[in-house]
Amino acid sequence: MTKNIESIEQFHQFIQTHRLVVIHVMRNHCSVCHAVLPQIEDIVNDYSKVHFAVINQSNVEAIAGELSIFTVPVDLIFLDGKEMHRQARFIDMQDFEHQLSLMHESLK
């Protein structure tokens, strides 16, 4: 299930509450962001211990400074509250899934 994060406080709470998290950062009029979103959702759905959230930077502009984001889309993997992997603009789905699978396996 996808959670929409509407504030920096919600973001921090989300990554602290769940061990393994994927965050997709996007903007309203970004066609690439909207094209990548269902692909990332499909990957995440294959992993039972992964929690997924979307942050629309158009609504939460401060997230860019909080996460040092210079372009969108950005897909991030957090493990135990720490950023472990980041891809921006051109998302390599195979590499992203590989990194996610390694972290998912480490939870067993």
- pLDDT tens for 50-74 read 999 999 999 999 999 999 999 999 9
- Domain 3-106, CATH among 3.40.30.10, 3.50.50.60, 1.10.260.40, 3.30.9.10: 3.40.30.10
Q: CA 24, CA 14: separation in Å to the nearest integer?
A: 13
* CA-wise closest residue to 40 among 56, 59, 53, 27: 53
Please give the structure tokens belonging to residue 90: 């051109």
**pLDDT mean over 7-34:** 97
What is the band of 11 on the pLDDT scale with cuts at 50, 70, 90?
very high
Give me the pLDDT at residue 35, please: 96
Domain boundaries, given as residue ranges, for the chain:
3-106
Q: What's the Cα-to-Cα distance from 39 to each of 68, 90, 105, rounded to whole Å?
A: 23, 13, 21
For the full predicted model, state whether its pTM sits above 0.85. yes
Q: Which residue has the higher pLDDT, 89 or 108?
A: 89
Q: What is the mean pLDDT of the chain?
A: 96
Contact (Cβ atoms closer than 8 angstroms) between residue 49 and residue 107? yes
